[in-house]
Amino acid sequence: MRGLKDKVIIITGAGQGIGRATAIRFAQEEARVVIAEVNESTGQSVADEIVATGREVLFTPMDVTQRESIQNMVSVVLKRFGRIDVLVNNAGIIQDKTLKKMTDGEFDRVIQVNLRGTYSCTQEVAAVMREQQSGVILNATSVVALYGNFGQTNYVASKSGVIGMTKVWARELGKDGIRVNAVAPGFIETDMVKNIPEKVKTKMIKKVPLQRIGKPEDVAAVYCFLASDDASYINGAVISVDGGVVV
């Protein structure tokens, strides 16, 4: 895609699933990929996978819930590459319970990672992008933020908040040459989905007009498009990648 060659792309939570697929896709587009991952084993594994293809990659351990960890990551990236062109706020967790059974700790933990983590990473990286007068910030939300989902009070609250922040930042940062958009994946084949009983999977697939589970690569392709020059006039948008579940 136009304009991605040699761009510096930070992807949080890139050790598996959609984050891994996104890192590999950006590397295929000849971007310089930064894997910011709390799990050092999976993060390094993805980095090694990209190195084996001959592309440039940097793995740096980072915890999105710790401001100092984020600041250290930004410092390491700037020392290595001198700039940051794209931030993909992909890191996220789930701790599902019904409202009746959810604890304060479970609610707070999901908010801390999914919502606060996105806010903290963006605040640190946006400061760099403002100085450059250019950049792209891409946030991971979810289709459940658009219609709710049983047993996901904390997750839906966090992902709905991400949509709100995306729209605010698109307004605030546009004058600095920074575009901010969100991607809302639907039912995607990740490790979390693998643990769902087949009967439940079949039921969920029936709700998808395209009648199939999405692949992490489907989401990665949209991130690449939104980061590219082809999307230069898209700002403040929420793009669903869900096979038509939300129409």
Does 119 participate in catalysis according to the annotation?
Answer: no
Q: For the chain, list the domains and their CATH numbers.
A: 8-241 (3.40.50.720)
Mean pLDDT, rounded, for 112-116: 98
Q: How many CB atoms lie within 10 A of CB 80?
A: 13
Catalytic residue among 147, 155, 223, 233: 155
Q: What is the pLDDT of residue 197?
A: 77
Question: For a pLDDT cut of 90, what percent of the chain falls above it?
Answer: 90
Which sign does the torsion angle of CA 207, 209, 215, 219 carry?
A: negative
Mean pLDDT, rounded, for 85-89: 98
